[in-house]
Amino acid sequence: MSVNTKQTSKTVATLASHMLHDPKATPVEKSLAASALSQSHSTHQTGAEMEHKASLVLHDPKASKEAKTLAASVVAQANKERHAKPTS
């Protein structure tokens, strides 16, 4: 497994922290926020399940701008080997 060299930015980590403390945040938003924070100052990579959840948020026209920001950060830190396509 490759090592993740990307980390959550300070701006996104701050957004994630606020999201976790927001009583109006949805469970999906809190889950994305937790994932983003876990990848701040670490080499953790996004797991397949969380990547799928983030992808759904990115494609949801009703998702908030904040949720999409968190989802984009989570997807950006996914395992690239999982998406490698075989060459012919």
pLDDT of residue 80 exceeding 70, the answer is no
pLDDT digits (tens, 9 = 90+) for 2-54: 566 778 889 999 999 999 999 999 999 999 999 999 888 777 788 889 999 99
* The predicted structure's pLDDT at residue 74: 92
Q: pTM for this one? A: 0.81
Q: How confident is the model at residue 88 (pLDDT cuts 50, 70, 90)?
A: very low
Helices (H), 1-88: 10-21, 27-38, 48-58, 65-76
54, 75 in Cβ contact below 8 A? Answer: yes
Q: How confident is the model at residue 78 (pLDDT cuts 50, 70, 90)?
A: confident
